[in-house]
Structure 1
Amino acid sequence: MDRNLSDLPVSSGDPFWPLRFLDARFEPRDPLFDLDEIEDEQDELPRRRRKKPSRAAILAAAIAAAGCVARGSPAIHASDSILVQLEPGAAPPEGRADPEKGPPIVALESLAPDGEAPLLRLPLEPGTDAAKAAEQLERAPGVQFAEPVYIYQASRMPNDPRHRDQWALTKIEANQAWARTVGDRSVTVAVIDDGVALDHPDLQSNLWTNPQEIPGNGEDDDGDGIVDDWHGADFVDGDGDPSPAPEGEARWHGSHVSGTIGAAGDNHLGVVGVNWNVSIMAVRGLGPRGGRSDDLARSIDYAVDHGARVINASWGGGGRSQALARAIERAGRRGALFVAAAGNGSGRSPDFPAGLDADNVLSVGATTPDDLLATFSNRGSRIVAPGVGILSTTAPGRYERYDGTSMAAPHVSGAAALLWAAHPEASLEQVARALLEGAEHGRLNVAQAFDAFEMDEPAPQALALSRASLTFRSRAFLTQTVSIRTQSGAPRKWRASADRKWIKLGPAEGDSPARISISVDRDRLAPFGDVGTVRFVDDDGQGPTLQVEARPDDSLVAVTAGSCEMKDGALHARAGAGCSLQAAEGESAAIRWTLPGGRQVAGSHLYAWFARRGRFEMTLGAGPARTDAIPVVIE
């Protein structure tokens, strides 16, 4: 049952009441649960974060601070590019032909996951109005929608009132819920934020690890296009290290959020999270200037593809991005709960994406220790949770108090993870309903969420694959990957078998969710190719099938959309044309296109503008042993 919280009483100040655990048997042995803090460790903190602000300052900060976008504020967007969603099979829109300068081929990055129609990021000339450019392109043939790249900000307000306990965990009755479970490492929560302090001693033991990645070897072991993504990924800088920015005072937001969800419990150290045990997947989607909708959409797809059951989004504002909304809805179809900060602008409608009308989205407002709605909090959220004076992890070995709906959301994310730890077979709908129905006058109550949980019907446990077929049509037959998970996201044992000896699997059994590598043993393949099937089954012998086709082929590139054509061994294009190309190797992140000028593009598809007339050459690398040259004629 949803609750509109706009009529909750609003705090007239910021009282803090020292509270204790109701049942000492479940009180963790964490010194900072009683805040035995060392004051000299805080000397380097900014002075303004250590002073208790006046009520007027809080209200002013809620409206003016970066990251707090009030209702009615104009959307902020990037000026360097726009996003264009193509219809299936459509060619990229035409670009501007430039006969004298600029690169002859301009690569257009696709942000869509495998199997989806391309979502292209189109670069803009300096001074171009992004909103107008998107409006014009939306009318172009083959375009579903076009929009600016919106910018989203973290939703906290800095404050360090230095109070003596984690009042919020007692308020939401987490200690009573711990009598049932203290969490489980099998449950993964993705924190999409500004990074996580990977070497914080209170977070290290609860960091997610990628089971198919070998850390530090410089290889993309799991075929997801990211090298050494051991604890998560960074979509701001484009690498496998989701640590915060190397400098700047406001870079511990994601670390603070992570501690609320899952700072290690019972470890004689620091604070404790809602979960003593959990897997926190660090996904850096926000930088010092906020987060772009394109990076955040890719962050969500990455989190779900690697098994996250909960996604915490302590950010918002900006415009309503269709690209971001589709990524959130894709996550819901795969059983992932999206918990979002409602916003700090005091409005009655949650900021985007918290206000998205999707079954898997829970918007979260913030309350004070006396159960009043915080003065800064949005008033239209589906649920509220403590968000004032929240003590949690920041820099390695450090702990600070922050305010904001950003701090409220991870209490709900942590509660969802705790429910899934006790009921791994539960569906997204069952967990969301328990959180809402167990709320106490709209405020999160973890113990009552357990009481409200009802397995009134079996959650859908059927195994599902990310793709129904794979095609290998080349000389090298590079490895391709598929993902497997249950419809609800619950873990389930599976095993796979192929009906052809030339199909190689790795691994051939395990627990969902998982990524499976599929490759071809050419020595066992018939000279003209073959079609085989891989069957995935659970313990009941039920599951999906994957069709695998392998055809030896000497061609390098196929034109899949647009006016380009392969002729006499060369690629011919009209100046200004937009075309889609596909390497004959099939779907593989190991493929590298090298364009004139040296820019490299990873992946089997290349979406590009052909801008400058002349004869050029690009190369196609398909593994360490082979690079082929492709002549390009732009007319």
Structure 2
Amino acid sequence: MKKLVLTFSSLLLFHIFSNESTAQLNIKSYVENEILLKINPRASKSRISQINENFRSELLESFSDLNWIRVKLPDGLSVEQAMKEYKRFPEVEYAQPNYYYHLQATPNDPSFSSLWGITKISAPAAWDLTTGNSNVVVAVIDTGIRYTHEDLAANMWRNTAEIPNNGIDDDGNGFVDDYYGYDFRYNDPDPMDENGHGTHVAGTIGAVGNNALGVVGVNWTVKLMAIKIYSAAANDTTSAMLINAYNYIRMMRSRGVNIRVTNNSYADCPEACGYDQATKDALDAMGNAGVLNVFAAGNNGRDIDAIPIYPASYDSPHILVVASSTSSDTRSSFSNYGVRSVDLAAPGSGILSTYYSSNSSYTSLSGTSMAAPHVTGAAALLAGYNPNLSVASLKATLMNSVDVLSSWNGIVKSGGRLNVDRALRNQTVCDLALSANVIDVPTKGGMFTVNVSAPNNCDYEVKSDSRWVSIVGGRVLSGSSTLTLRVSVNQTISRTATITIGDKTLLLRQKRPGS
């Protein structure tokens, strides 16, 4: 086993005390004078302008490839009333608030002097196979990163096509001086951490290893992209900011930056905000571009199968949701759980990592925010070890290789806690097979089924390109499943529909006999 030297040159004992129920009363659910609208793609810009003028609303931002816009409302028009009125127009498919999002850190009681979480997930054994890959980029969507930190600087992603601080968009991507990432909270190129949360998360993922300084991440070597969505208060990002962050990551991946994983240690407004379709659309687009998105399960200590918390509860195949475990492999008292909604557990109580106070500061924190980066780090280590693994294969491998424990049976879907060494040595390749590639259906329509064979925990989405074929049941399936399709009656013309099932396609042909 490779030897690792750890020296804690500066350990800050950091305690956070809060009254959660009191704090929730002071948290706003959404931006009071804005809404987000999903526009019918057939609607013209002039027609949308007319509708906005009718309400005396102002177009603030357009997410054109997602068909969403952000609108500022006039004084006197509430968000609730505006959504109701906008929905009357057929050009508007969906109307929702511009939600605020809040971090998932919790009060920290004990302070640990060792990286028990790294040992618990068998990272030292995994390091016999690989200590990381500098070609793998992890986007840390958080409060930013102290990119000058002694234990992070060497592993920071740098946009080599950009000359920093020259005020020019050198690479022509629409963002000036985005050298370490970008600050979507203040819309500027400096994602320096002002809170500490993001720097702590980044250290667990990829603090530099074997450098005789501070701590070590799951990856000794990796590239960390700083995506800042919070101010120092860490309670003030919005749907629009998240969408811009997700779109930036997707854009940079399309331009050749090998972003394989994102870490998302935040969730929706406690008890108030709900399903956010605009953010989910952007998140799904990022996942469909080949990015695995790891989310903290949240710190309400509740079953999120019964009471969802978003984004963790979205039914999306490229989301991996993480609960927090203790050093004794039990559920941390604050951690959310759910046998359908939460995928696996990882260490999250009393986790020592890098901190933002100085370039040599460290501290211990607790929360599902601290659990998620263990899994993100494991995903990055796995992606570097086998670059050919798809998003579905990364997710399934991490779930299928957990240490199965009685304390997690019926608590999370996999029934266990992360084991990164086992993940590297026992990979799951999500290769789907269909019982039929073509189905001929009669003009009277009806119900039709196709069997899908896939390894356990391989998640995939089902899409139909035609309105006359509808999917019965959920659109996201897992493992081997039976897909049921409803085909409408058609007495006139021959027609075909394509059903996308993960990376496979099914062709439906409807025509009169003999035609």
TM-score tier by shorter-chain length is 0.7 to 0.9
Which letter does structure 1 place at the counterpart of 2:2? F
TM-score, length-normalised on structure 1? 0.60
Contact 1:75 1:317 in 2 (8 A): no
1:456/1:429 Cα in 2 relative to 1: closer, same or farther (>3 Å)? closer
Which letter does structure 2 place at the counterpart of 1:313? N
Once the two structures are superposed, the pairs formed by residues 454-603 of structure 1 within 5 Å of their partners are 454-455=428-429, 457=431
Distance (whole Å) between structure 2 residues aligned to residue 422 and residue 169 of structure 1: 18
Aligned to 2:390: 427
Which of 35, 38, 46 is equivalent to 1:82?
35
1:358 to 2:316 alignment: yes
Which of 207, 229, 251 is equivalent to 1:263?
207
Which of 413, 418, 421 is equivalent to 1:444?
418
1:26 to 2:2 alignment: yes
Q: CA deviation at 1:132?
A: 2.7
Contact 2:392 2:430 in 1 (8 A): no
1:27/1:77 Cα in 2 relative to 1: closer, same or farther (>3 Å)? farther
Q: CA deviation at 1:405?
A: 0.5
Once the two structures are superposed, the pairs formed by residues 127-166 of structure 1 within 5 Å of their partners are 127-159=76-108, 161-166=110-115
Q: Give the match's secondary structure for 2:35.
A: strand
Q: CA deviation at 1:64?
A: 4.9
Aligned to 1:621: none
Identity of aligned residues (%): 38
Tell which structure's C-alpha radius of gyration is larger. 1
Contact 1:301 1:331 in 2 (8 A): yes
Which letter does structure 2 place at the counterpart of 1:384? A
Which letter does structure 1 place at the counterpart of 2:139? A
Aligned to 2:63: 111
Q: CA RMSD in A?
A: 2.4
Aligned to 1:315: 266
Aligned to 2:243: 297
1:327 to 2:282 alignment: yes
Aligned to 2:52: 95
1:377 to 2:335 alignment: yes
Contact 2:52 2:59 in 1 (8 A): no
1:74/1:285 Cα in 2 relative to 1: closer, same or farther (>3 Å)? closer
Distance (whole Å) between structure 2 residues aligned to residue 292 and residue 419 of structure 1: 32
- For these two proteins, the number of residue pairs brought into alignment is 398
Q: Give the match's secondary structure for 2:175.
A: coil
Aligned to 1:273: 217
Distance (whole Å) between structure 2 residues aligned to residue 437 and residue 382 of structure 1: 10
Which of 291, 294, 310 is equivalent to 1:336?
291
Contact 2:260 2:290 in 1 (8 A): yes
Q: Give the match's secondary structure for 2:262.
A: strand
Contact 1:88 1:117 in 2 (8 A): no
1:345/1:456 Cα in 2 relative to 1: closer, same or farther (>3 Å)? closer
Contact 2:58 2:71 in 1 (8 A): no
Aligned to 2:375: 412
Once the two structures are superposed, the pairs formed by residues 196-211 of structure 1 within 5 Å of their partners are 196-211=145-160
1:341/1:429 Cα in 2 relative to 1: closer, same or farther (>3 Å)? same
1:217 to 2:166 alignment: yes
The C-alpha deviation readout for 1:496-555, integer Å capped at 9, x for no partner, is: xxxxxxxxxxxxxxxxxxxxxxxxxxxxxxxxxxxxxxxxxxxxxxxxxxxxxxxxxxxx
The C-alpha deviation readout for 1:296-332, integer Å capped at 9, x for no partner, is: 1110111122132101110002321111101111112
Distance (whole Å) between structure 1 residues aligned to residue 62 and residue 74 of structure 2: 19
Which letter does structure 2 place at the counterpart of 1:363? V
TM-score, length-normalised on structure 2? 0.73
Aligned to 1:177: 126
Q: Give the match's secondary structure for 2:52.
A: coil
Aligned to 1:306: 252
Segments of 5+ residues of structure 2 without an aligned counterpart are 254-258, 405-415, 433-515
Segments of 5+ residues of structure 1 without an aligned counterpart are 1-24, 246-250, 459-635
Distance (whole Å) between structure 1 residues aligned to residue 320 and residue 100 of structure 2: 21
Which letter does structure 1 place at the counterpart of 2:317? D
Distance (whole Å) between structure 2 residues aligned to residue 388 and residue 258 of structure 1: 16
1:431/1:270 Cα in 2 relative to 1: closer, same or farther (>3 Å)? same
The C-alpha deviation readout for 1:26-54, integer Å capped at 9, x for no partner, is: 3422213xxx645xxx4xx77x44xxx7x
Distance (whole Å) between structure 1 residues aligned to residue 390 and residue 373 of structure 2: 20
The C-alpha deviation readout for 1:469-512, integer Å capped at 9, x for no partner, is: xxxxxxxxxxxxxxxxxxxxxxxxxxxxxxxxxxxxxxxxxxxx
Distance (whole Å) between structure 2 residues aligned to residue 111 and residue 242 of structure 1: 22
Contact 1:281 1:303 in 2 (8 A): no
Which of 204, 229, 232 is equivalent to 1:285?
229
Q: Give the match's secondary structure for 1:201.
A: coil
Q: CA deviation at 1:96?
A: 4.4
Q: Give the match's secondary structure for 1:158.
A: coil
Contact 2:322 2:368 in 1 (8 A): yes
